[in-house]
Amino acid sequence: MRLLRGARRPLIVAGGGVIHSDATAALAEFAAATGVPVAVTQAGKAALPHGHPAAVGAIGHTGSAAANALAREADVVIGVGTRWQDFTTASRTLFADPRVAFVNLNTASFDAAKQAGVSLVADARAGIQALGAALSGWSAAPEWRERAAGLVRGWDAVADAAFTAGHRPLPAQSEIIGALRDGMGERDVVLCAAGSMPGDLHKLWRPSDPLGYHVEYGYSCMGYEIAGGLGVKMAAPDREVVVLVGGSSYLMMAQEIATTVAERLKLVVVLVQNHGYASIGALSESVGADRFGTRYRYRDPATGHLDGDTLPVDLAANAAGLGADVIRAQGLDGFREALATALAAERTTVVHVETDPLVPAPDSDAWWDVPVAEVSALPPTPAARAAYEQHKKAQRPLLAPSPA
């Protein structure tokens, strides 16, 4: 306990193990008693409700600037139920204090040993309770708690601006997320899996219920959304289940809409149509490449490129053909009305809404290690390569030296 009691800038990173172990109440109690800020991974997103005094939001490549700033300054990091995946650590560039120490509470000894940390192999709930008892009377320094609270207020203001951006003629994806959260009940479940939406949800969603956030992002499984939503509805028929799916992921396994109709298991499917692969397009640009083949466009015979008119893809008609009720929402106000109608409906309802794929969510101020070509004839590539090499310098070794 000497390591924890001696921490000046402690930080908790809560992963999916907190939820799987039903440890959310124990975590909230521990955080309230000690004042240690709590950041959350994608799997642990709902481990602490938004608004808890210790909650600082999502961490990592798809995280909030608030949690990531605290991670850079932290001198002791307590990982609870997290596997320390690449996104969580921003490809091992996030924890910048050269002497940062890790204490890892996990049921798997392999994960508990990561980051050269002190291993605590135990159930998350039992482990948190034991740590709470051992640290009785100790709390984080007031100035560190104030630092965390100030960063959270700043990020909340950034998120609020993204929710109300007023982008025209098509709304931004962040505006759809904001309207969705306003329209859903506290026990309703939001579900997503692939594309740009999971990262935006990790940054921006404000959870209130530990089981209200279900985002499969370990393998970015395109097509999981509707099938996964069906499973959630079977497990929790008393909850409204809202599936968020982009047009490209919808095309992977839309037929499970028919299963929901056959089984009379109602889902609300928010089909966000941005006419392409927004996530891959943005990633292509980040490595100095063009958005090749990432938009639903005709090939232009003059240029030979896929930059002609938009393809006449009608996913709303497809959903109707699979047996769902379909509402074609126009703009953000239309989406709000359509969502309310869908939530009140008794059968699976698809809300189709178009968004602008070129409007990004607020920046997480964190990096992800995606290699960039060293040699390319494309003009943007050399600059992207230079930035890549600069970020690589900040990567920590896989086995960091133990603190003195």
Q: Are 172 and 165 in contact (CB under 8 A)?
A: yes
Contact 236, 189 (CB under 8 A): yes
Q: How many domains does the chain contain in total? A: 2
Residue after which a domain boundary falls, among 155, 183, 211: 155
Cβ atoms within 10 Å, residue 228: 22
From residue 169, alpha-carbon distances to 161, 165, 275 in Å are 17, 12, 15
Domain containing residue 36: 2-155
What is the per-residue pLDDT for 267?
98
Written in H, E and C, the secondary structure of 80-129 is: ECCCCCCCCCCCCCCCCCCCCEEEEEECCHHHHCHHHCEEEECCHHHHHH
pLDDT for 398 = 72
Quick check: is 392 in a domain?
no
Mark which of 103, 127, 155 sits at the end of a domain.
155
Q: What is the mean pLDDT of each run of 10 residues along the chain (404 residues)?
A: 93 97 98 98 97 98 97 98 96 95 97 95 98 96 98 98 96 97 97 94 96 84 94 98 95 96 98 90 89 88 88 96 98 98 98 94 95 93 95 82 50
Taken in order 240, 361, 115, 144, the sign of the CA dihedral is negative
β-pairing verdict for 268-273 and 101-106 = unpaired
Residue 32 lies in a domain: yes
Burial call 179-209: b when 16+ CB within 10 Å, e when fewer: bbbebbeeebbbbbbbbbbbbbbbbbbbbbe
One domain for residues 137 and 241: no
Angle at 323 between CA 321 and CA 324, to 5 degrees: 105
Domain shared by 128 and 10, yes or no: yes
Residue 274, beta-bridge partner list? none
Residue 82's CATH number: 3.40.50.1220
Pair (126, 187) in one structural domain = no
The model's pTM is 0.95
pLDDT for res 279: 86
Are 150 and 212 part of one and the same domain? no
140 and 174: one domain? no
pLDDT at 170: 96
Note whether residue 245 is domain-resident.
yes
Residues 245 and 334 occupy one common structural domain: yes
CATH number at residue 231: 3.40.50.970
Residue 7 lies in a domain: yes
Whether residue 125 sits in one domain with residue 87: yes
From 155, 176, 201, the end of a domain falls on: 155
Domain shared by 332 and 213, yes or no: yes
189 lies in the same domain as 322: yes
Same domain, 239 and 346: yes
Give me the phi and psi of 232, to 5 degrees please: -65, -40
Shared domain check, 248 and 335: yes
Instruction: Please give the pLDDT value at position 404.
Output: 47
